[in-house]
Amino acid sequence: MTTSDDDQEGVPWWAVELGCWTMVVLAPILTWVNGPAVSTDQAVVRASVFILALVGGVTTTAVRWLRR
């Protein structure tokens, strides 16, 4: 028996995609509000979160588009 994405338990893919794109949009705004990074560690974490959100957003969008 096959199931669709809507029948599966857990977090729906559209919510993951929305979260990733929201973080991509909010990252520059939060950097502007909070100011520049004060340490190398903070800069690395900010860049890593932005890059992971961007990769996640592109990947989930591509997967959802290709599965149609």
Q: What is the pLDDT along the chain (68 residues), one digit of tens a residue?
A: 455 655 668 889 899 999 999 999 999 999 999 998 899 999 999 999 999 999 999 999 999 999 88
Domains contained in the chain, number: 1
Domain membership of residue 25 (yes or no) is: yes
Domain membership of residue 5 (yes or no) is: no
56-59, long-range: CB within 8 Å, 24+ apart, which pairs?
Answer: 56/16, 56/17, 56/20, 57/17, 57/20, 57/21, 57/24
Q: Which domain holds residue 56?
A: 12-67
pTM above 0.85, yes or no: no
Domain membership of residue 4 (yes or no) is: no
Domain membership of residue 20 (yes or no) is: yes
Domain membership of residue 7 (yes or no) is: no
